[in-house]
Structure 1
Amino acid sequence: MKIEFSSLPTILNGEICQLQKDYTIENIFIDSRNAVSNIKNLFIAIKGERHDGHNFIADLYSNGIRNFIIDEEIKVDKYPEANFFKTENSINALQALAGYKRKNFKGNLIGITGSNGKTIVKEWLAKLIESVYSVYRSPRSYNSQVGVPLSLWHLNHYQDYAIIEAGISKMGEMEKLEAIIKPKIGIYTNLGTAHDEGFPSLEEKAHQKAQLFKDSSTIIFCKDFPEISNALHSLPKLEEKEFIGWSFEDNTSNYFVETEGRNNGTAIRIPFEEQFHIFQVPFQDYASLENITHCLLLLLHEGLPIKVIQNTLNDIKSLNMRLETKKGKNSTYLVDDSYNNDLVGLDTALQFFSQQKQFQKRILILSDLLETGLSSEVLYQQLADRIALEKLNLVVGIGSEIRMLEKFYTSDLKLFPNTASFLEYEKENSFQESLILIKGARKFNFESIVQRLEQKIHGTVLEIDLNKITHNLNFYRARLKPGVKTMVMVKAFAYGSSSHEIANWLEFQNVDYLAVAYADEGVILRQHGIQLPIMVMNPDPRSFELLHQYNLEPELYSETIFKDYASYTRNHKSLLKVHLKLDTGMHRLGFEAHEIEQLQLLLRHNPQLKVASIFSHLAASDEAMHNGFSAQQAMSFKKLAESLVDFLGYKPILHLLNSPGISRFPDYQFDMVRLGIGLYGVDPTGIYSGQLQSVSTLKTVISQVKHIKKGETIGYARRGVANEDMKTATISIGYADGFNRKFSQGIGKVLINGILAPVIGNVCMDMTMVEVTNIDCKAGDEVIVFGEGPNISDMASAIDTIPYEILTNISERVKRVFYTE
């Protein structure tokens, strides 16, 4: 269905205020960083809490965008080749445009909501249905007030099914989403505590989410959540709805679902239309069984053949719904996004790909695009147009149909009939110093490409969820007064998370400043393309040349370091930025009150130095018992900083608060705050612990399972003793990886198949033994060292330390995997 720019007044409230040339709208964008340069694309300028899309129109115009929706007055004559549509509210316009697309969609639309499991149910359903029908599903976790309309835009006439997820965080939001999604079939996954703060009660939250299914004809839900059942049965037009309310617990239910654990998974017995159907699924945990039951009941309702369902279930566990960045061989990085191979998924992956500014050489490895509903000629013409915008160094095409790309794509292209032939080529032509996006349909087994190109490190992995970093960043930003800037600490290898990858993501999120401990850390960031201003907290005279060469800004904290840097910079013609550290009670680094007069004298004699910021550090903001002392520090800082501002005759940035300070002292925000460990989901004050998200998960694997007889010993110095017959697992992590030796003798615990397993004996350098007598496990099983549970704070408490130490002790030999969903 085509939408011309000239037709917008018939779809939206508002008017065209400039029409230079009518275009058929191909795609829509609300984020200027993701806008693809194409004269047929439409940018919708939205005013957000931190950014206003109208401020980026000039840049977008210069990059080739020619269609805009705005909701404030701008001088359109500055853009003589552009079209502008003026509306009262751009978000409402975005939703109305998506609603128009939905109204003209003739396939079956499935809507999914709930507290957890929405995305995985959506992806599993798509995988299960696409073996029979053409399926579209919303990209990743596009379930918000803007994410849903962006998803609906891609609905097309050739799709038999569309699967759209919807999430809300406060009252009234679902009514707007329901009005544009209008699902025929609904799945209500479950009800949990996420976003509780936005609703007066759990019952009301259940009721608000249920509004998505106001006009649905079929609704699938779990009756074991009474709030869900009650909310659904309070919807209007009950007589027109078919409720498929199933249960694991109520054996009187028409849809009583029984499960039986087996060696490689679980057998699920589901009654449907007076028949019992048994499916074998490859997992045993409750959450996955709940999610797959929703899927199976929908498939049965839609009449998919049982054999087709079971055959597809065999592959369901290996679906990876995350876009992961991994370290590759020969100084390469891999963006692994092989689970979703359609044009929309490719576009999302390319947007993420283009955000990685730290790499100059970029390579795309792509298979045939299957089941798009488009002819090969149209499909590969569109593909060529899209990837041409990315200025890639090389495109590798694998498959028989992608050869059509050669007709339309004129840049460097290498084609292979199958994955095996590419791997043979790669043996003699390995990639060097590149960012490589790997995206292929499952039948092409691109996992083998990832395995070949990935750097081989042992099985212990630190996973970092970039979406959760964004959540935590925005959580703290929401607590800042208007105009207060954010500096993020990426010292100590970004608290163990790998600094340049985190810094790149933070730059994309538009933070204001970065801070590192030493010049070498700042140099690495610059070498990886980071452009943000960077403060160096511990400069050394031997690093002054690096500071100047890489545009790094030193912290000056004493008369000695000031004089050294002033002497080095005295003959520089341009102004050089510095940051002044004041000691208000930490007594670590900084000018004290009695040194301010000498500091002013130094500043007067060194006009080549421009003070970018003045700051101090709270000594005890973690603990409420020291609130009085923190207040004294704040007052002292204010007094000293103001005297320096008066002396300078201009206003540098003033900052005092660290992560716990942001939580505890909103009145002391000044001009900027410094966000450190809070970004990674740890609130040392405990005030917001339940609202932050744990960013990192440290995982390893079981190397071997042993059966130990009573009286035998385990590990070095025979510290582990079997008081009775027991079973142990040796896991691939030790103190050389950062698993502290203090976790020996049962103090440390890891999670194996949902059950905590205590350390037995001493932690070794590369391995640790844990007791698994009552845990069903085998070699190769995954082990969670920390994550959602056990979490970093629990581990720190167990050995009487702080979460900072747990994170920063993780060895660099532990592979970091960055992902976004």
Structure 2
Amino acid sequence: MTTFTLKDFQKIGRVENFTTDASGVSTDSRSVQAGQAFFAIKGENFDGHDFVKAAFEKQAAIGVVSESWFAQNGKNFPAKSFVVTSDPLKALQNLAKLHRLKFDASVIAVTGSNGKTTCKEMIQAVVSPSYETLATQGNLNNEIGVPLTLLRMNESTQMAIIEMGADKKGDIALLCDIAKPDSGVITNIGKAHVGNFGNIETVAATKAELFDALTDDGVRYVNVDDPRLRQHADRKKGLVTFGIEQEADYRGNILSIDEKARVRLKITTPEHYELTMQLQTPGKHQAYNALIACAIGCSIDLDFHDITAAIEAYRPLSNRMGLRERNGYTVIDDTYNASPESMRAAIESLATMSTAGRKIAVLSDMLELGNESANEHYKLGEFLKTQHIDHIMITGKESAKIKEGNSAAQFFNTKHELIDALKKIVKTGDAILVKGSRGMKMEEIVEAL
């Protein structure tokens, strides 16, 4: 556990009644551990100041609170230690920024519209056997999660893989200012959260803040197959390209796709060495994550055989194209999130699978698409006509537009109605894709099966 001292806290605020160092940090009173510093962060739907007492009851060592809260409530905690600041969130970020600068660990930043978490996990799988590696846990990739990850860094950390998400322009620049990455990769540019950005051009500009933040000595891993990223491949220094369709430093070639839609991939390196690997995650789009992981592994001089073995051994997180065998049928659990691009990729994966039974797509809303939502859901319905899917079952207000684009889709007012109907038709040998945005909680359907 990382220790934070009086000197550390004095750099982020005014210290009141300091008694002991803190062993780690927390922003959640439910999971705060004895000896940690509790940061009382205020969000849209919560205020950490409401839980300062609960944090101290769990033996938090120090509370990081706002000036206004302390002026009103500090007197109620006469024996407790505080750091008083104008903004506890900014204090957390500043502490993380200062902490990161204490260490020489190499920081790799990962962003993009789709596939960030799987990409980060695959890079970690490749790097961690050879380097003491710190990586973002789950998808803690925002203005709170990135600092929390960096604050876990210690003297033994050699490599840090930091996932970065964005909801608005400037978010990636802020996270890079905190993390100071040495290298970075943008997986792709798509319409995920486009409603927050206004248009896809702003999405692309926001993700590109990662490349802008890197120094001239930093390494930019550029997906030359993505037309909105290809422009970044004109650099003369600190550039590594990857792709399947275009010429690239690391060029992928999909050799075959098995009965579970998993790719057998050949990657050719700049030295013309060929690595051949069998991926365990369904979907042709997973080839790009393997390319990124391979490129990074080769760039830090890892053994080719070790890179191949790590990628082949990687298994996805359960709700990101995870395969589950249930009562003789297969469930493809991709319930973590959904965007137009990831929906199409998942549906194509289902259509590619070889099954003894039928292929069933169980889908729900793609959220945060703003003014493009109706059109994107309608186009998804039209896209489904081009795929060999036997049953299409949908639920959610926005998903009604899928049925307008594809009259064969069955619409259900509630998940419970859909679950009842699905249980009646599912048979041995069937393959069922379940997917929707995080807010739709489609994992409830997976659990019901």
TM-score (norm 1): 0.42
Task: Quote the residue 1:18 is aligned against.
Answer: 17
Residue 785 (structure 1) shift: 5.9
- The correspondence of residues 649-664 of structure 1 with structure 2, limited to 5 A, is none
- 1:46 matched residue in structure 2: 41
The 2-side partners of 1:171 and 1:100 are apart by 24
Q: Quickly say closer, same or farther: Cα 1:111–1:818, change in 2 above 3 A.
A: farther
Distance 1:198 1:165, change over 3 A: same
1:189-338 equivalences in 2 (<5 Å): 189-199=187-197, 201-213=199-211, 214-216=213-215, 217-230=218-231, 241-251=237-247, 253-261=248-256, 263=258, 265-282=262-279, 285-316=283-314, 318-322=315-319
Q: Does residue 8 of structure 2 align to residue 8 of structure 1?
A: yes
Rounded to whole Å, the distance in 1 between the matches of 2:120 and 2:415 is 36
Match of residue 388 from structure 2 = 756
Amino acid at match of 1:296: C
In the alignment, the residues of structure 2 paired with residue 300 and residue 199 of structure 1 have an alpha-carbon distance, to the nearest angstrom, of: 35
**Displacement after TM superposition at 1:225 (Å):** 1.9
* Residue in 2 that maps onto 1:551: none
Contact 1:269 1:276 (C-alpha < 8 Å) held by counterparts: no
Distance 1:787 1:136, change over 3 A: farther
Give 1:11's aligned amino acid.
K
**Residue aligning to 1:810:** 419
What amino acid is aligned across from residue 16 of structure 2 in structure 1? Answer: C
Question: What is the match of residue 429 of structure 1?
Answer: none
SS in 2 for 1:80: coil
Change (3 A) 1:28 1:812: farther
The reply to whether residue 116 of structure 1 matches residue 117 of structure 2 is no
Go from structure 1 to structure 2 and tell me whether the alpha carbon gap of 1:70 and 1:231 turns closer, same or farther (over 3 Å shift).
Answer: farther
Shift in CA distance, 59/164, structure 1 to aligned 2, threshold 3 Å = same
> Residue 59 of structure 2: SS of its match in structure 1?
coil
**Match of 1:459?**
329
What are the equivalent positions in structure 2 for 1:593-612 lying under 5 Å apart? none
What is the Cα-based RMSD across aligned positions, in Å?
4.2
User: CA shift at 1:460, angstroms?
Assistant: 6.4
- Correspondence 1:668-707 to 2 at 5 A: none
Distance change (3 Å), C-alpha of 1:749 and 1:786:
farther
Q: Secondary structure at the match of 1:76?
A: helix
Structure of greater Rg: 1
Distance 1:271 1:220 in 2: 16
C-alpha distance in structure 2 between counterparts of 1:105 and 1:49, whole Å: 33
Shift of the 230–51 alpha-carbon distance from structure 1 to 2, 3 Å rule, reads: same
Count of residues in correspondence between the two structures: 391
Aligned partner letter, 2:240? I
CA distance in 2, matches of 1:232, 1:175: 20
Query: RCO greater where, 1 or 2, for CA within 8 Å and sep 6 or more?
Result: 2
Is contact 1:459-1:700 (8 Å) kept? Answer: no
Q: Give CA deviations for 1:580-617 in whole Å, capped at 9, x if unaligned.
A: xxxxxxxxxxxxxxxxxxxxxxxxxxxxxxxxxxxxxx
CA distance in 1, matches of 2:171, 2:83: 25
The residue matched to 2:43 in structure 1 has which SS? coil
- Give unmatched runs, 5+ long, in structure 2: 361-380, 424-443
CA distance in 1 between partners of 2:395 and 2:303 (Å): 39
Deviation of 1:196 (Å) = 2.0
Is structure 2 residue 58 aligned with structure 1 residue 59? no
- 1:163–1:4 CA distance, 2 compared to 1 (3 A): closer
Could you list the per-position Cα deviations for residues 515-536 of structure 1 after superposition, in whole angstroms to 9, with x for gaps in the alignment? Answer: xxxxxxxxxxxxxxxxxxxxxx
Partner of 1:162: 160
Letter in 2 for 1:730: G
CA contact (8 A) 2:2 2:153 kept: no
Per the TM alignment, residue 296 of structure 1 is displaced from its structure 2 partner at its CA by 1.0
3-state SS of the aligned residue for 1:280?
strand
Q: Which ranges of structure 1 fall in alignment gaps of 5 or more residues?
A: 325-338, 340-446, 469-680, 682-688, 706-728, 734-747, 760-783
Q: Does 1:102 align with 2:105?
A: no
Partner of 2:363: none
The structure-2 alpha-carbon separation of the partners of 1:15 and 1:205, relative to structure 1 and needing over 3 Å to count, comes to same
Partner of 1:174: 172
Listed one character per residue, the Cα deviations across residues 215-245 of structure 1 (whole Å, up to 9, x for unaligned) are 2511112112232233576xxxx66x41112
Deviation readout 1:436-472 (Å, 9 max, x if unpaired): xxxxxxxxxxx9xx99xxxx7553659694x66xxxx
- Checking the alignment, whether the CA contact within 8 Å between 1:113 and 1:189 is kept in structure 2 is yes
- The Cα of 1:118 is off from its aligned counterpart by 0.8
Q: How big is each residue's C-alpha offset from its partner over 1:710-753, in whole Å with a ceiling of 9 and x where there is no partner?
A: xxxxxxxxxxxxxxxxxxx42498xxxxxxxxxxxxxx9998xx
Matches of 2:264 and 2:328, distance apart in 1: 34
**Aligned amino acid, residue 420 of structure 2:** S
Matches of 1:298 and 1:139, distance apart in 2: 20
Aligned AA (2:173): E
Q: Cα deviation per residue 1:679-732 (whole Å; 9 max; x = unaligned)?
A: xx9xxxxxxx98xx9xxx9x9999996xxxxxxxxxxxxxxxxxxxxxxx4249
Alpha-carbon distance change, 114 to 54 in structure 1, aligned in 2, over 3 angstroms = same
Q: Distance in 1 between matches of 2:353 and 2:142?
A: 42
SS in 2 for 1:756: coil
Residue by residue over 1:548-578, the C-alpha shift from the partner in whole angstroms, topping out at 9 and shown as x without a partner, is xxxxxxxxxxxxxxxxxxxxxxxxxxxxxxx
**For residues 183-235 of structure 1, what are the alpha-carbon distances to aligned partners after superposition, in whole Å with 9 as ceiling and x for unaligned?**
112111110011223335433432322222322511112112232233576xx
Sort the Cα spacing of 1:250 and 1:457 in 2 relative to 1 into closer, same or farther, 3 A.
closer
Q: Which amino acid aligns with 1:228?
A: L
State whether residues 220 and 243 of structure 1, in contact with CA within 8 Å, keep that contact through their aligned partners in structure 2.
Answer: yes
| Aligned residue type for 1:175 | A
- Quote the offset at 1:115 in angstroms: 0.7
1:150 Cα deviation after fit:
0.9
Determine what percentage of the aligned residue pairs are the same residue.
Answer: 23
Q: CA deviation at 1:27?
A: 2.1
Shift of 1:132: 2.4
Q: 1:810 is matched by which residue type in structure 2? A: I
- Could you tell me which residue of structure 2 aligns to residue 128 of structure 1? 126
User: Deviation per CA, 1:19-76, whole angstroms, max 9, x where unpaired?
Assistant: 2x122x222122223323x1x1111111221221112212222332231111133232
Report the Cα offset of residue 15 of structure 1. 0.8
Q: Partners of 1:794 and 1:152 in 2: how far apart?
A: 41
C-alpha separation in 1, matches of 2:131 and 2:45: 42
